[in-house]
Structure 1
């Protein structure tokens, strides 16, 4: 009988076997039958489609007790899935994709989440799962015809749709991990090709998380090195000029070798989760050098954009 970990990998269209323990093995045959691969979409949106398929594979093994268990933010698993559907629907509305669920009224993440959760509470958990997956897949299919630079607005924040989709990828990844930890299931990380663009978004967000935290990094830079599969190195100007963030090779070629004010080296997955609101910045495992006060400010402000 395949473990839940293998179901997760199958959902991502991966082949390698992942060793691990089986959880509730009597449920896995049914879960395997109900899993679905990632929806077809644009290559730049595949990290999000993969996280959706991974979450769906995890939900396929859930039973009644799982759906009613509180996961995060005081939400049960069913309410958490409704929250994901709500935010996916708001992005869908911004780019002209179908919006499923209750009629679109509130356009803030908090308001739409409340509306969709109220709607889904009257439905079965399996219906909620299907509604969320249908919304995410409808968005993915629509993205296949869009340029990644298409403007989009979600919860008052305007950016290229590619960045909003990567943010949806990160949130879905984080909440999949929330649900898995509550169920005591060990899941593998995404493939490196999906981790790297997500880490790139996190690096480019650092100037904005600093500003939102009331910290002025103008004129200063940090060299961010993220280790592990999917990692890389980024030169990050901290003055709110996110377009100036470059991966290290581009920095060398475009601007010459300039000394960064501070250097931060950390695990790529842990850093993505820090930006996603998981982990304590004060105890975050990282090697710091240069201006240590600046490096600590970068880490302390990193979760500023995370939310429910």
Structure 2
């Protein structure tokens, strides 16, 4: 392994010193692709090569110097979110000045993307009585709050924005440790148990960490299976809603969903939002990779890249896939 590449990977290891609540997750994120350890899925760096682009050596050296706190202690059901916060923080620790000005998604720079994550974490915090950091809470919709936090953070340094986002995430995690998973919460007009809102925050943080890594031409390891599975379960339960939002009522139809890979599983999903549990075989079957499925629902633009095996009512299966991204967005 090239010494500079090894330096970068060592930085990720050292930045991911685990806390008792997230040992397994951070161990997965930090495993080195070397003879002494199991290889990461697909390698840490795309194609097993160093990322290209400007400031490469500065990025790697900055990553070696960067140290981020371990994931905040929280409720066991919120650990998937805490793990993705820790992983994003590790990635941000390797960013240099040029990186913060790169456009990542939605026309947002990396600094604006981090402010967006802080804004949405703050909306969930407000709903459950956790501290809300940053500017005073005026707008309570996602886009409005994002605009307010981004405007506030533009007058601050990228490192201050990173600290503000992490402080908001940590405050939320600490508060969640005192709450039952089924505590009601309302975010952006959506009523759901706080556990589901936290899984939505996990999915968005995971997706945007991957967005930032792609721009840097880095390929990061997947979360551990026990953290992926609840996110996949949320995505599966959202399918009746994504269909309905797209103008298709799936009432009376049943889908068999088989997701492969660590964290996958099998779901038999009634496709009407008021349908009872399924008592007969599915009308259609979809088999896909579990991470691809989560990203299909979690990130716009994944539809053209999504690959699946379909059986049974192929038109129904295609409609489920076509409508799955209906809730994805900024």
TM norm structure 1: 0.91
User: For residues 92-123 of structure 1, what are the alpha-carbon distances to aligned partners after superposition, in whole Å with 9 as ceiling and x for unaligned?
Assistant: 00000000000000000000000000000000
Q: 1:7 to 1:279 in 2, by over 3 A?
A: farther
- Contact 1:207/1:241 (CA < 8 Å) preserved in 2? no
The aligned residue for residue 248 of structure 1 is: none
Q: Is 1:240 aligned to residue 273 of structure 2?
A: yes
Structure 2 gaps of 5+ residues are: 1-6, 19-24, 34-43, 51-55
How many aligned residue pairs are there? 295
Q: Is 1:168 aligned to residue 206 of structure 2?
A: no
Deviates more, 1:12-21 or 1:213-222: 12-21
- Contact 2:16/2:68 (CA < 8 Å) preserved in 1? no
User: For residues 248-267 of structure 1, what are the alpha-carbon distances to aligned partners after superposition, in whole Å with 9 as ceiling and x for unaligned?
Assistant: xxx7xxx5xx2100000000
The aligned residue for residue 300 of structure 1 is: 322
Match of 2:250 among 207, 217, 220: 217
Match of 2:62 among 27, 47, 53: 27
The aligned residue for residue 97 of structure 2 is: 64
Q: 1:178 to 1:282 in 2, by over 3 A?
A: closer
Q: 1:210 to 1:151 in 2, by over 3 A?
A: same
The aligned residue for residue 216 of structure 2 is: 183
- Contact 1:8/1:58 (CA < 8 Å) preserved in 2? no
The aligned residue for residue 164 of structure 2 is: 131
Q: Is 1:281 aligned to residue 303 of structure 2?
A: yes
Q: Distance in 2 between matches of 1:64 and 1:194?
A: 32
Following TM superposition, where does structure 1 have runs of at least 4 consecutive aligned residues deviating by more than 6 angstroms?
A: none
1:83 Cα deviation (Å)? 0.2
Q: Distance in 1 between matches of 2:291 and 2:274?
A: 24
Q: 1:265 to 1:10 in 2, by over 3 A?
A: farther
Q: Distance in 1 between matches of 2:12 and 2:288?
A: 25
1:307 Cα deviation (Å)? 1.2
What is the root-mean-square deviation of aligned Cα atoms in Å? Answer: 1.8
1:174 Cα deviation (Å)? 0.2
1:18 Cα deviation (Å)? 2.6
Q: 1:282 to 1:13 in 2, by over 3 A?
A: closer
1:279 Cα deviation (Å)? 4.3
1:30 Cα deviation (Å)? 1.1
The aligned residue for residue 17 of structure 1 is: 31
Q: Distance in 2 between matches of 1:207 and 1:10?
A: 40
User: For residues 236-292 of structure 1, what are the alpha-carbon distances to aligned partners after superposition, in whole Å with 9 as ceiling and x for unaligned?
Assistant: 1011138x56xxxxx7xxx5xx21000000000000000012444355200001110
Q: 1:10 to 1:177 in 2, by over 3 A?
A: farther
Match of 2:110 among 77, 97, 105: 77
The aligned residue for residue 22 of structure 2 is: none
SS in 2 for 1:167: helix
Q: Is 1:199 aligned to residue 232 of structure 2?
A: yes
Q: Distance in 1 between matches of 2:163 and 2:243?
A: 38
1:28 Cα deviation (Å)? 2.6
Q: Distance in 2 between matches of 1:98 and 1:217?
A: 40
Q: 1:296 to 1:10 in 2, by over 3 A?
A: farther
